[in-house]
Amino acid sequence: MERKDAPTGPRTYRGEVSASNITSTLNSVLGPRKYDRRLRPNFKQKPIDVYVDILLRSMGPISEKDMVYSIEIYFRQRWMDARLATNISIENISLNIKVLEKIWYPDTVFYNGRESYLHFVPMPNRFIRISPNGSMYFSQRLTVRAICQMELRNYPLDMQMCDLRIGSFAYSVEDIVYVWRYGSLSSVQLSTDMTMSQFDLISHSATTCNISRKGAVHSCLLVRFGLRRHTGYFLIHIVIPCSLLVVLSWVSFWINREATADRIALGTTTVLTMTFLALDTRDELPRVSYATALDLYVAMCFIFVLSTLGQFAIVHSFTKKGHSDTYGSQCQDTDCDNEKPAHSSRNLRPRTTDRITCTDRNTRKNRVFISRGESRMKVWFSSLKVRGQTPEKCEQAFQANSVSEWDKVSRFVFPITFVILNIAYWSFYLSRT
């Protein structure tokens, strides 16, 4: 006995509905005579409730200059449309997104959004499902760029609160009321693998609100994200380099004051580098009218570097005017002092750093001019032999006196002041975070 081939058409089983039956049911429900997509459900009756929940997949980047932040979310909405009740035994029917062209769905927008878009790769990331009683489920994968008004006075030790406002574009509270699907505590969920490079998401909350638009009150949902900024980048690229430049400027305190070119070059280099860092830190910030915490720190370092250069100007000024710190004061000719003219009571001591006057008994009016560097020392030592003084003793006095008392004091005053200001600065701003 030959065996007959199995039927190739769709098979139905007890308790199941065939695809052709579902298609015919949907066609009858969505017929132009029975369903008008231009009218909301419960038209001229009580407002329709739209239930919303969000899955946050990623957050960032966050731009302080534009004051916007980006988030990628799964945005889900539920509402009841009794006109689409199929009354079939299938619990849920997943439909193609083209059915959106035939049905009514909420005109939900993000009130503070900017340049938001739907993902279309490789296909439009949208999903819609219908239940037998007419309950609709609509899910979309969106990237939302929203405005966040930031307060940057404590930047980069700041915390920001960024909002996301959700509501209807055209319908007021008399037509649509937005409700969190799982309550305000569980309706905003975070992906387990979500990470952020600029901030830490320390808190998030969901509440309901009302907003007035064109004289009508609209129902809205509010999501608030609490963000704390990562400070590691700013410590490595700004704070530590500025502090090292300040320390580098202190090297001039250990350079002899007659090395004018060396100290001026070091001071000018550190000042110009600090100026570059100060300008570079402002490129990523908006043109706010107040100073941020980072601006104050850079300004403090800039003042220290500039003060180091000003300190040398003071030292050099006193040296040229024959201040008591000038070198050569310890190398005097005792014989010359004993044979001073009777009408003069002044000590014959050098008045400048570029000239030392030495006389002997026979040629008292002759002066020896000595230049900087090695030639100065040779001429000086030759004149000392005529006067009978020890060159080693005068060389030791020359080297000791070439360091100004101002430099010796600055070696301790500048570092101690800088450390105290740093402790006060960090204590103040860290207590405000």
Write down the pTM of the prediction.
0.71
Measured distance CA(222)–CA(209) in Å, rounded: 7
Fold of 233-322+407-430: Methane Monooxygenase Hydroxylase; Chain G, domain 1 (1.20.58)
- Looking at residue 134, its pLDDT comes to 85
Which residue has better confidence, 344 or 256? 256
Fold of 37-230: Acetylcholine Binding Protein; Chain: A, (2.70.170)
Asked if pLDDT for residue 98 goes beyond 50, the answer is yes
Measured distance CA(388)–CA(385) in Å, rounded: 5
Measured distance CA(193)–CA(203) in Å, rounded: 16
Measured distance CA(281)–CA(271) in Å, rounded: 16
Domain ranges of the chain: 37-230, 233-322+407-430, 334-339+349-401
Give the 3-state secondary structure of residue 6: coil
Which of the four pLDDT bands, split at 50, 70 and 90, describes residue 246?
very high
CA dihedral 232, 238, 241, 247 (to 10 degrees): -110
Q: Which of 90-94, 100-104, 187-191, 239-243 has the lowest mean pLDDT?
A: 90-94
pLDDT tens digit string along 344-376?
444 444 444 444 444 444 444 444 443 444 455
Asked if pLDDT for residue 269 goes beyond 80, the answer is yes
pLDDT tens digit string along 182-233?
988 889 999 888 888 889 999 999 999 999 888 889 999 999 999 999 988 8
2 contacts: CB under 8 Å, gap ≥ 6: none
**286 cis-preceded (ω within 30 degrees of 0):** no
- Looking at residue 277, its pLDDT comes to 87
Q: Is 42 left (phi over 0), alpha (psi -120 to 50) or beta?
A: left
Question: Kind of pairing, strands 159-168 and 108-110?
Answer: antiparallel
